[in-house]
Amino acid sequence: MKKFFDNSINHLKANNQNLLILLSIAIGITTSTVAFILKSAVHHTHEFVMHYSKGHGNYLFVIFPLIGIILTILFVKYVIKDDISHGVSKILYSISKKQGRFKKHNTWSSVISSILTIGFGGSVGAEAPIVLTGASIGSRLGRAFKLNHKTLIMLVGCGSAGAIAGIFKAPIAGLVFTLEVLMIDLTMASLVPLLISSVTSASLAYLLQGDAAHFNFSQSAPFELTTIPFFIVVGIATGILSVYFSRQLSKTEGRLANIKSPAKRLAIGGIILSCLIFLFPALYGEGYGTISILLSDNFQDITQNTLIQNINNEWLIFAYVLAILLLKVFATSITTGIGGVGGVFAPTLFMGAISGFLVAFVFNQLGFDLSYSNFVLVGMAGMMAGVMHAPLTGIFLIAELTGGYGLILPLMMAAVISYITIKYYEPHSIYHKRLAQRGELLTHHKDKTVLTLMKLHSVIETDLDPIAPEATLGELVKVISKSKRNIFPVIDKDQHLHGIVLLDDIRNLMFRPEKYDKFQVTQLMSRPPAIVETSDAMESVMYKFEQSGAWNLPVVENEKYVGFISKSRIFNAYRKVLVHYSDE
């Protein structure tokens, strides 16, 4: 039996295309099943919480999110013992620096953690955890078959696409998310497996979850050309809100991270989160219930179980909803900042829906007759396009979530305008920013991608002969006579770099023995035109070469000499990586 199995595996590996198709189907089935388990577990946990909250007003809403976050912290600390936050950023880092490899626990740890966080009311979404899980599943399958690096990355993309398609029942959105956000190259070799995983996952999701759209939407008013200016306003508004969301999320998480004591961080963040949820119950959980209310055009229902539920003043409701919009980013960042696990998909859709509603509300108060549900839909697309820098994902995800294909033109308009607006202020998406700052981001720019894939340590040369700063010219000549290089680092006994000696600079003194005892190396050395740190990204290293005009630069680590790096060696390594990266 084992021999038959091994022969079958070898036969599949020999026919790579058939193996990819089978693996893509397997990934689609697995990710859709996991997405269904995640959604069901979150739903049942939420129902459990709601059952025990009846008759207690909003007071238990204050307690349950903290219980979920504390359970998540304990699970991560004592079971996982690893950082599992920022799921999509971890995928990007794995593609960039770990050749698409993940730790074993990534196939399940994010799912359990997000169930605890979101099920008990954490103000985040389940999508990023399931995408990380899907990517890890694809990676594990690829490694099990010992596939090459390029194919492994493709299977990581298949897992991510399948996860999005499965949790949203949106196969096109799964595909374009992988291309736009994860930067998987669009070639025929990669397109087919991604499509297969997306379609397989979405098809199974329909079987498991039913054929209803994710949100119940009925287009109450047709799209008319006269409404184009209003949709342009939505695009600009969501673009500006995307800047606000991205910057405030990073700032709040950073401030919480600066609190060194975990207990103090949990106490401070927990008190603020509890107050926010008590005053604004719409901030509880993913927020999909609020989106459904806005899509139904019964926006007054958003004030149920709140301090203003019996007040019918529409402008007061407007102010209340605006406060929810602006405070959602704090609820989300505090949830993740104090230890919860979740993503920004749901908060982005939540804020987009509210922003679209508020734009329509203002214009309707000015005497126009706009459909609230249409603008809610368009706002969701605009916000998604802005925060994630993914206009196609915003367009197709919202169309597939709601069946709102009749609004495809305004969806496109708002998504593109929002994307253009945020790109002016933020060159990188919320997922890419951290990696871009460290020079670890892969992009569709092939030169930059190849530089990112290159490892600095692999091109450092350590065969140069050093000389002490107090050595004489005669001692330097002895070192030169045994060396095959024309650069000599000047290093003291503590390995600190003082300078460099170039053979061309001392050639006129080398053949004058009477000068050997009259000159010390400190008099002959020069400062290097630039110094490379071992922590520098390859793109930064190439910039230093370009600015200095040098062909060789010293490398230091913690101010101690490590070796030299040459432009010619970088070019040789670049060619090798480029051939490997471009190999189809």
User: How would DSSP label each residue in 462-503?
Assistant: --PPPB-TT-BHHHHHHHHHH-S-SEEEEE-TT-BEEEEEEH
Residue 122 corresponds to which tokens in the numbers above? 């954490």
Dist. CA 388–CA 468, nearest whole Å: 53
The reply to whether 332 falls in a domain is yes
**In terms of domains, do 415 and 457 share one?**
no
Domain end point (choices 399, 421, 444):
444
Residue 453 corresponds to which tokens in the numbers above? 């894939």
The reply to whether 412 falls in a domain is yes
**427-439 mean pLDDT:** 69
pLDDT grade for 10, boundaries at 50, 70 and 90: low
Dist. CA 93–CA 249, nearest whole Å: 20
Say which CATH number the domain at 504 has. Answer: 3.10.580.10
At 58 the pLDDT is 61
**In terms of domains, do 464 and 483 share one?**
yes
**In terms of domains, do 435 and 484 share one?**
no
**In terms of domains, do 369 and 458 share one?**
no
**pLDDT 10s digits, 17-71:** 788 899 999 999 999 999 999 999 998 988 888 777 666 556 667 788 999 999 9
Is the model's pLDDT at 279 over the cut of 70? yes
**In terms of domains, do 184 and 258 share one?**
no
At 559 the pLDDT is 80
**In terms of domains, do 17 and 143 share one?**
yes
The reply to whether 339 falls in a domain is yes
**153-172 mean pLDDT:** 92
The reply to whether 214 falls in a domain is no
The reply to whether 132 falls in a domain is yes
pLDDT grade for 13, boundaries at 50, 70 and 90: low
At 583 the pLDDT is 47
**In terms of domains, do 324 and 342 share one?**
yes
The reply to whether 2 falls in a domain is no
**In terms of domains, do 92 and 232 share one?**
no
Q: Are 32 and 165 in contact (CB under 8 A)?
A: yes
- Between residues 208 and 439, which one has the greater pLDDT? 208
Dist. CA 4–CA 1, nearest whole Å: 5
**In terms of domains, do 430 and 458 share one?**
no
**364-377 mean pLDDT:** 90
**In terms of domains, do 182 and 291 share one?**
no
CA distances from 39 to 112, 257, 352, 411 (A): 11, 29, 22, 27
Q: Is 560 helix (H, G, I), strand (E, B) or coil?
A: strand
pTM over 0.85: no
Dist. CA 253–CA 331, nearest whole Å: 11
What percent of the chain lies above the pLDDT cut of 70?
Answer: 87
15: exposed, middle or buried (C-beta count within 10 Å: 0-12, 13-18, 19+)? exposed
Q: What angle do CA 26, 32, 37 make, to 5 degrees?
A: 125
At 5 the pLDDT is 47
Say which CATH number the domain at 62 has. Answer: 1.10.3080.10
Question: What's the one-letter identity of residue 183?
Answer: M
**In terms of domains, do 255 and 383 share one?**
yes
Output Rg (C-alpha) for the chain, integer angstroms: 29
The reply to whether 297 falls in a domain is yes
Residue 295: closest CA among 213, 188, 417: 213
pLDDT grade for 3, boundaries at 50, 70 and 90: low
Domain end point (choices 174, 209, 244):
209
What is the helix (H) or strand (E) element at residue 533, kind and residue range?
A: strand 532-533
Domain that holds residue 383: 225-444
Question: Distance of alpha carbon 477 from its chain centroid, rounded?
Answer: 54
Q: Are 488 and 469 in contact (CB under 8 A)?
A: no
Domain end point (choices 209, 233, 252):
209
**In terms of domains, do 259 and 174 share one?**
no
How many structural domains comprise the chain? 3
The reply to whether 59 falls in a domain is yes
